[in-house]
A and B are shown apart, each in its own frame.
Chain A
């Protein structure tokens, strides 16, 4: 018993001391481990700086950061949603970065005060079953409210971050009334049967259970990589002359205000916005690098080939509450 206690105590001390003395960066990461680890590994290899990933849901981690205040151990915060990043800016949790550091990324992909910077972008697109002609009339996301799609539409539940971000973009490009009736129409089409994962929507469209779905673009390419013969195609919505264009959202990074390792943190950001880092960061998930000149994966339509909704990413945070109110008022499942 005594020996067990001594052993346990030694173990604890070891665990604590490694935390107290090691020179390493701590990153609160709301992005899946699989998509961030390759970048971190390359960074550690290049600089010798160790990085500890503390993974969780983007929102919960932001909440934690907010509660911890100056006691936080985190040096950086990574989220896959610009809405969360902007919320952090609102809460004054981040320290603005030097213009020099982030100017390679276009201004609409970062906070006005540079307190966060977008690293990779995803497009909200439609996945359509190629054998099923019933959804061929859909040219805009607003067509998804058409009663012809009753029982044929796949969407995620309304607390999904990408879903909320998408609705926020549409809300900024239109007005509340349009969005409300659109949501009501979709609600009538899906009943209470919504998906909890985008990947399941793609699967359901591929096996013909649904005709069309609203998803982030990479889920479709991920499915096609596994099943190259799947009868699905990507449709870029809202491309006609007066249409708003495709909604984008970015994943990004911020340096925590109370970080004591500002220099090392800046190095990581620098690496992530560098051409090599950008390629890595975007490639693992077939997203669009935010740095101009770094191409996206080959299969993905180039960014110049279609129209993107002209809504600044900071709006995703500033108008999230408004979006949530509408979603709740409609009672989207």
Chain B
């Protein structure tokens, strides 16, 4: 009886997850169809004329950002998890707060700060004199700077998590055997952290590969920007699809790397996580710690927020914040809430399916659901657009199209977040419930949902945050006249209306804060 129940469950799950996965693969199918229309000579032209430069640009940016995020993320994580010092909780927060600011906002703010008349430009002129030209951000280093401060928090989160769970006893054993603290770090701690660091860096690189906002504001030609320019400037959809295909291959490599290292991390972390003992920091260490973390925070959070506040104040003074502004806030909230809910629900069958089956097919489904991570936003939007126009024309122009794109883009986040908690839901748990006389409904509300709660909430929050910041797909697919905060930031920033872009950016940050707080609280509870 139980086995027949399990079978029918699996098949419902398999049907539902097949549907979700099929939907998720729409943009990839689109890319295949369009790049298939490229002739051989067009391919070789693309190959020789564009690819070398783009590969070089994209990879050098990815490497620089990886280095930057490594330095910022690992150092801050190590200091915070291994020393007890005044303001440690606050420091943890300061390291993740940059996640509330989208990359294009960082890019926009830093380009105006480093202008001659900007705060940093004036500072530069004050120190080095008027004649030394101030550094520009319109190059690989500028883009790497912006994407590093915008992305290092991912590395921080993963590495500090691994550090909290790591086996302190091994380090202690190494100390007992006469290794110096430095040797312990390089020979014991760092090797154990390798999977977490690698997973974090792979995640950062994936974000670099698909970033559209920052590179287009800094005019740094990566694959994603070039694809967008091919589509919108030259109306060359085939070439855009061809380039996308190469990008997919590139991203897929990093995605597989990330999965590989995440699995390894599970293996490394101790079965019974031991609470790390944090040594109290000495005075000298305290100065160093806050000096370094303060420097990171200044650039990754304080300075951008100060900029937003100053210009929002300016806008307030000129009474530029109109009723329409609150309409944009409302639109952003509607899309984000709806997309987060949809993605969380859609991810559930895929995660459950994998938890139950654990075979090649379910693994494959998991990979297919990650397509949103390997395709750039503009391409996903275009794929959805042509799919909807040819198959579901009656929903075109409604919000469902936009939600569909958000669902596909952020499904990987939702699936990953749920995967962990789904693993705890062993079939025996449900069967035990049933054998003790629980109805299916009771089983659902008293066993399944409580076990999955953490995963469901994190999935919801992660998708909410990313939808709130989403730009390229929203630009193309929003219903007519439906402007969200990112769209307004984009429009105002490209017209250089700083006073108008700032309130939207500030609002975006404030909107992310409560959900981030919620997520962190849950995270803390889980690691305690």
Write the residues of chain A forming the contact surface with B, with a CB cutoff of 8 angstroms: 8, 11-12, 15-16, 19, 26, 32-34, 52-57, 59-60, 63-64, 66-69, 71, 73-74, 87, 91, 157, 159, 192-193, 196-197, 199-200, 203-204, 207, 209, 321, 324
Contact = CB atoms under 8 A, between A and B. Distances in A.
Contacts of A11: 334
Interface of B: 111, 115-117, 133, 136, 138-139, 219, 229, 231-235, 334, 337-338, 382, 385-386, 389, 393, 396-399, 475-476, 479-483, 491, 494-497
Given A33-B491, A199-B496, A69 B389 contact: yes
Contacts of A192: 138-139
12 contacts: A19-B479, A32-B491, A33-B491, A52-B480, A53-B481, A59-B233, A67-B382, A67-B389, A69-B389, A157-B219, A204-B116, A207-B116
A71 B388 CA distance: 10
A12 to B, nearest CB: 7
Contact of B385 (A59, A67, A199, A321): A67
Nearest to A209: B116
B219 A159 contact: yes
A73 B480 contact: yes
A16 B115 contact: no
Contact of B232 (A57, A71, A197, A209): A57
B219 A63 contact: no
Contact of A26 (B117, B229, B481, B491): B481
Nearest to B481: A52
A157 B138 CA distance: 11
Contacts of B338: 8, 12
Query: Among B334, B389, B397, B480, which residue has the most Cβ atoms of chain A within 10 A?
Result: B480
Nearest to B483: A55
A91 B237 CA distance: 14
Contacts of A54: 480-481
Contacts of A199: 496
Contacts of B219: 157, 159, 196
Contact of B397 (A32, A67, A73): A73
A197 B496 contact: yes
Nearest to B235: A63
A19 B116 contact: no
A11 B393 CA distance: 22
A129 to B, nearest CB: 15
A54 B338 CA distance: 22
A60 B475 contact: yes
Contacts of B138: 192, 196
Contacts of A74: 480
B46 to A, nearest CB: 14
Contacts of A203: 117
Given A8-B337, A56-B491, A26 B476 contact: no
A67 B386 contact: yes
B112 to A, nearest CB: 10
A324 B234 contact: yes
A321 B482 CA distance: 32
B480 A26 contact: yes
Contacts of B385: 67-68
A69 to B, nearest CB: 7
Contacts of A57: 232, 494
A63 B398 CA distance: 19
A69 B382 CA distance: 14
B36 to A, nearest CB: 18
A55 to B, nearest CB: 6
A54 B136 CA distance: 33
B481 A64 contact: no
B117 A63 contact: no
Contacts of B234: 321, 324
A81 B382 CA distance: 24
Contacts of A64: 476
A88 B497 CA distance: 28
Nearest to B330: A11
A53 B229 CA distance: 24
A71 B389 contact: yes
A199 to B, nearest CB: 6
A324 B232 CA distance: 14
Nearest to B115: A200
B481 to A, nearest CB: 4
A68 B235 contact: no
A62 to B, nearest CB: 8
Contacts of A60: 232, 475-476
Nearest to A208: B130
Given A8-B334, A15-B399, A324-B234, 10 more contacts: A12-B334, A15-B334, A57-B494, A67-B385, A68-B396, A159-B229, A159-B233, A193-B133, A193-B136, A200-B496
Contacts of B235: 63, 66, 87, 91
Query: Among B139, B386, B396, which residue has the most Cβ atoms of chain A within 10 A?
Result: B396
A19 to B, nearest CB: 6
B396 A32 contact: no
Contact of B495 (A8, A32, A71, A200): A32
B496 A71 contact: no
B196 to A, nearest CB: 35
A257 to B, nearest CB: 16
Given A63-B232, A63-B235, A67-B386, A19 B111 contact: no
B476 A16 contact: no
A19 B398 contact: yes
Q: Which 9 A-B pairs have CB atoms at the shortest separation, nearest pair first?
A: A52-B481, A54-B480, A60-B232, A32-B495, A26-B480, A63-B232, A73-B397, A59-B232, A73-B480
Contacts of B399: 12, 15-16
Nearest to A60: B232
Contacts of B233: 59, 159, 324
Contacts of B475: 56, 60
A53 B393 CA distance: 23
Nearest to A53: B481
A57 B479 CA distance: 16
A193 B115 CA distance: 12
A12 B138 CA distance: 41
Nearest to B477: A64
A52 B483 CA distance: 11
A19 B476 contact: no
B322 to A, nearest CB: 11
A66 B382 CA distance: 12
B491 A55 contact: yes
A329 B497 CA distance: 33
A74 B234 CA distance: 22
A19 B138 CA distance: 41
A207 B232 CA distance: 36
Contacts of B393: 71
A216 to B, nearest CB: 13
A207 B483 CA distance: 37
Contacts of B229: 159
A321 B235 CA distance: 11
Contacts of B231: 63
A71 B111 CA distance: 39
Contact of B111 (A26, A69, A196): A196
A232 to B, nearest CB: 16
A49 B81 CA distance: 62
A37 to B, nearest CB: 10
Query: Among B232, B385, B386, which residue has the most Cβ atoms of chain A within 10 A?
Result: B232
